[in-house]
Structure 1
Amino acid sequence: MRVHLGSDHAGLELKDHLLTWLVDEGHEVVDHGPFVYDALDDYPVFCLRAAEAVAAEWAEGGDGLGVVIGGSGNGEQIAANKVAGVRAALVWSEETARLAREHNDANVISVGGRMHPVENMTRFVGTFLATGFTGEERHVRRIGMLADYETHGDLPPLPESALRGPDAADA
């Protein structure tokens, strides 16, 4: 599988570790930088490129995935989610990595290089890459709502219960 990596200075050490580990695991890795430590670099420069590459692959029917890395992972997730076609999830455990794929069909994850030991982060990434989307109707429906909003700005319709208001008695 092709895996796109992007980080900032706070995620550089973890990115470099993951690059080697992913190659050893048989993945094709595309490193979108940074390539040297610069305490003043900006995560959008690298994370947007990684996310754009994932989105382009998916638009062509591919299945490449992405990992963006920073100190906390928060800004990197926000950056990745600005790219149309990307569903980036902030991951902090094996369970959140698994659910990101199973329920959200996430194609990018964001991890905080300062939040956990390298061994844990490696397991989180491994879980993400090894897990597939369940394809359950409820998850497909929810992802469809997000895609419609992303593409057309259409809000999903309110459920009947929301139209009745909080004081309406259930009959």
Structure 2
Amino acid sequence: MRVHLGSDHAGLELKDHLLNWLVDAGHEVVDHGPFVYDALDDYPVFCLRAAEGVAAERAEGLDSLGVVIGGSGNGEQIAANKVQGIRSALVWSEETATLAREHNDANVISVGGRMHTLEEMTRFIELFLATPFPGDERHVRRIGQLATYETEGLLPELPASALQGTAPDAEDA
């Protein structure tokens, strides 16, 4: 599998570690930077490129995934999610790494380089890459709603349960 990496200065140590770890695990790695430590670098420069690489290859039918890394992972996830076709999840545990794939078919994950040990983050990424999307109908439906909103700006229809009545006033509660 091809794995696209992008980070900022706070994720540089993990990104450099992942380059070797991923190659040793048989993956092809595309490193979008940074390539040297710069405390003033901007994560969108690198994370948007990693997400764009994943989106372009998935549009071609390739099974590419991505990992973006920062101090907390928050900004990097936001940046990746700005790229059309990307579903990026912030991962902070083994369970969130697995659920990102199983429930959301996430194609990029974000991790916080200052939040976990190198071993923990490597494990999160290992689980993310190894977990398939099972394609359960409810998850496919929800992903479809997001994709329709992303491409057409159409909100999903409200379910009948949301249309019946109104919420009680605070005085009625």
Which bin holds the TM-score, normalised by the shorter protein? over 0.9
Q: Residue 62 of structure 2 corresponds to which residue in structure 1?
A: 62
- Give the AA of the match of 1:27: H
Q: Residue 92 of structure 1 corresponds to which residue in structure 2?
A: 92
User: 1 CA distance for matches of 2:8 and 2:73?
Assistant: 10
Is 2:144 the partner of 1:144? yes
User: 1 CA distance for matches of 2:127 and 2:76?
Assistant: 20
Aligned 1:1-171 pairs, distance under 5 A: 1-166=1-166
Using the TM superposition, give the Cα deviation of residue 165 of structure 1 relative to its aligned residue in structure 2, in angstroms.
Answer: 2.7
> Unpaired runs of 5+ in structure 1?
none
User: 2 CA distance for matches of 1:36 and 1:130?
Assistant: 29
- Give the AA of the match of 1:93: S
Deviation digits for residues 7-50 of structure 1, max 9, x if unmatched?
00000001000111001111000000000000000000000000
User: 1 CA distance for matches of 2:137 and 2:35?
Assistant: 42
User: 2 CA distance for matches of 1:99 and 1:167?
Assistant: 32
Identical counterparts, % of pairs: 83
User: 2 CA distance for matches of 1:13 and 1:61?
Assistant: 31
User: 1 CA distance for matches of 2:165 and 2:113?
Assistant: 44
Count of residues in correspondence between the two structures:
168
Using the TM superposition, give the Cα deviation of residue 167 of structure 1 relative to its aligned residue in structure 2, in angstroms.
Answer: 5.3
User: 1 CA distance for matches of 2:83 and 2:92?
Assistant: 22
User: 1 CA distance for matches of 2:31 and 2:124?
Assistant: 19
- Give the AA of the match of 1:106: A
Using the TM superposition, give the Cα deviation of residue 166 of structure 1 relative to its aligned residue in structure 2, in angstroms.
Answer: 3.5
User: 2 CA distance for matches of 1:129 and 1:77?
Assistant: 17
Is the partner of 1:29 in helix, strand or coil? strand
- Give the AA of the match of 1:73: G
Structure 1 runs of 4+ aligned residues shifted over 2 Å read: 165-168
Is the partner of 1:46 in helix, strand or coil? helix
TM-score normalised to structure 1 length? 0.97
Deviation digits for residues 41-92 of structure 1, max 9, x if unmatched?
0000000000000000111111100000000000000000000000000000
